[in-house]
Amino acid sequence: MIRDRGRMKWVSMMLPEHVKVLREWAEEDSYKVRKELDEQQLELMDGIIAEAMQLGRGVTVTYYRNKHYELFTGWIENWDALTGCLQLTDASGGEHCLQLQDIMDIQWADK
């Protein structure tokens, strides 16, 4: 059986610009598409936000940033409806602001 090195054997014959474009193209394959939330999910998330602010319970937030989904675990400090910002604090005391349109899911952290 022939052991092939795949793309590596062709890189030496390519221009650096071509290699860069191929790497960018391969990176684009890992991009995720933002999903649309329905009314029921929005109401459920709104209830969790209100309860988490009242009781001071930790939450895990799934949000969309730079064409990928990311997780944040912490506590909700404030919800600014004017700017659309959900202010959160992480375990180390750092403050973060997530835009409400970027939030895809909120779950209780202490399940």
The full set of domains in the chain, from first to last, is 39-108 (2.30.30.520)
pTM here is 0.70
Q: Order of strands, edge to edge, in the sheet holding 68-80?
A: 95-99, 85-89, 68-80, 58-65, 103-108
| The residue count for the chain | 111
Q: Does the CA dihedral 108-67-32-17 come out positive or negative?
A: negative
Could you read off the pLDDT tens digit of each residue along the chain, which spans 111 residues? 566 656 555 666 777 888 888 888 888 877 888 888 899 999 999 999 999 999 999 999 999 998 889 999 999 999 888 898 999 999 898 999 999 899 999 999 875
Structure tokens belonging to residue 25: 């193209």
Instruction: Give burial (CB, 10 Å; 0-12/13-18/19+) of 24.
Output: exposed
53 within 8 A of 76, measured Cβ to Cβ? yes
In the numeric block, the tokens 């909120």 are attached to 106
Say which amino acid occupies 101.
Q
